[in-house]
Amino acid sequence: MSPITNTNTITNHEHDAVVAAVAAWESLGLTVTKMTSDDMIAAVEEWEKLGHPEYVAQAIEVAGRANKRSWSYVQGILRRCRDNGTAPGYTNGQSKVVSFSGGQSKPISDEQYARDMAKQAIYEQCLAEGIHDWQTQEQRYREAGLL
């Protein structure tokens, strides 16, 4: 059974990210089980909300370079990415290339990336609450220490 047929709520963008994750997993010589498939789809859906569903496949590749072939190791990489606001990979403090919602990619520091992710979360929270004026959004950024 294809991992993509396990849910009917998956978007085209998520579909591409799931296909990339499956390909990365199989490139390590691993078989995609139903449980792994479900975990991959859940991870892609989570990272789609954060704007970077491609991180799942990248985390699998990082795990492979570290000669670790378990989903729990991949989950640890993704957890570190979320907690630190960084992309998967070994950068040794170098800047990363990131982009929000299809915007122009440019190198930024880990600290700037974390601030951008926090601002994006506040912006999305404001929209969810029906707040569309920039003054209120800016006030929330200031309260969070982001400006």
Residue 49 neighbours by CB under 8 Å, 6+ apart? none
* Whether 26 contacts 32, CB under 8 Å: yes
Q: Which of 90, 119, 135 is the last residue of a domain?
A: 90
The confidence score (pLDDT) of residue 108 equals 53
| 22 pLDDT more than 70 | yes
Q: pLDDT tens digits for 41-93?
A: 999 999 988 888 999 999 999 888 888 899 999 999 998 888 777 788 755 44
Dihedral sign of CA atoms 105, 108, 114, 115 in order: negative
Both 85 and 102 in a single domain?
no
Both 72 and 116 in a single domain?
no
Number of domains present in the structure of the chain: 2
Both 85 and 105 in a single domain?
no
Q: Which helix (H) or strand (E) holds 51?
A: none
Q: Which amino acid, 17? A: A
* pTM summary value: 0.55
The confidence score (pLDDT) of residue 109 equals 59
Query: What range does the domain containing 41 cover?
Result: 1-90
Both 83 and 63 in a single domain?
yes
- Spatial distance between the Cα atoms of 100 and 87, rounded to a whole number of angstroms: 13
Q: pLDDT tens digits for 99-116?
A: 444 454 444 556 666 777
Q: Which of 90, 112, 132 is the last residue of a domain?
A: 90
